[in-house]
Structure 1
């Protein structure tokens, strides 16, 4: 990705000289002959850096700088002056200028100042490239120690056949974790089948999981293949397993112990090869104590536990998540991305996020 620079100076000779120099160095260059034009060009082109002359007819450089920073607090600006004074430099810095160059311009000094100013952008591009690699690999956004522990756990357990129990509050991304495990596992080319146990009525959950034969109950007008068979060779994700009925729990336990299931109304058992990943927002030990969940099923499911932290426990990931969702939004709408003001990001980081990442999105 080439870096785009805006040169704003009312002297044609300066604009042409800087355009030629910077284009030779590999930068993409756009120009403006006045402060008002600079604001319009910036809005349209969104350059990475602006070289802005202090003394221009009409709206001068300092006024332009102020308006530019109002519109984009993250704007990176280097001021240029043929009448540089300490007072001017101080005022420019106070208004948000990154650096200050004096005319006559020295080529080496100009290039060094630009490189230094853009260094953090180049580093951010490299960091973003690494983040994108991680996001594409895991579909999990974040670089906090809390989320890194989750990613490390995923990478460690994914190549195995071990069953996994994912715990965490609603909206933390338990399904993303399950999908990441499947994607990195030897079963990746086989189906990933999800069942939301909380969304299916208790009288239908067994049919959903194990299937049924025609006429086995009222409304069974044809044979139906259950989720266990659909996931054969792949991964079955049982989301919100804490809401599963007792009868279904018993049959799931048999499937895990023996590797076989029996469709409702059938006398024939079916062998299935399925890796089960379960998830819950409940504390299953409490459900066991209340008689709502089988202790032996928990032992079968909880071979490898993965706890997904709430967003309030990884607040440092909020800016990265905001950026990720913003990229998705603008890509879908055909819009140019815009940075969030630092104070807006701080307010987002301070928010409690009871709905976690789902609420942020």
Structure 2
């Protein structure tokens, strides 16, 4: 029986516990996900998650003044990731893609898009990364030129999750109010905007819908601006401040699944007439895995609880959670592969899939080395 004792931790309330248990049951009833056509799988998952109400926490209800609940987002990602990486991906991108609208969007923008994304009737995406800038958001070069009654977009975005299947993109471009981070603005961009095209579909070791977007004179109405000109960097960092902790939760979900698979394996597999679980070396692996899982969970839900408790920024806490949970999940999954022996690298096995899934989490929404820089600067500046 998988460990669920963490649901009783004081970081969580009864509504969180009820949500996690109900979503776990739903995901289990959904069964296996077909990974052969990831575009179709993600469209199907978004539609099912939306139809059954599970996407409601991904965006604020314009009629509800309450902010995004980070603990619910984290529990959702952890639970879905434990079942399947594409389930988590489909859920997560609905939140990240509309995070700027939830936090800074106008009423008209929210009314137009959030009811659609929260019900799975529209797929969203977050277009921040550029070919030359990566995690260095302030170095973005894509431009949005003020042309009287419109903004004109020119440039490229790459490694965009849901690129090619999204109905709407939150996009960041340089409007020139100042140098570096001071000159960026945020926009809501419908996928059918003339001048927007898919330059390349990107393939990775754990397939997900990813693309490079090309903008050639794409015209947007002035109402497409999110917030004020020059606020783009602030908006992007505020969104990441919420959703970076959820990446850690997804890594935690992968680690929990690997740990559960390993416990079943060492109990059932015999070596020289004894279960693997009786070998001290194996017990050492299990102890290390248990420690890494619990320590990661404590950092994840501390960060989520801190944000939900009203902290304006949780950059340090979120960076610690993201760095530790994803790096340690990699170690837990590697140990799971080792404990499974040859079966651990057999295509189609659960731990083999987890081994491919976990690697990207240590890169996107700020690579592990970037998280170390954030932690150091926040600590020394405290």
Same fold at TM > 0.5? no
Per the normalisation by structure 2, the TM-score is 0.27
Which structure has greater helix proportion? 2
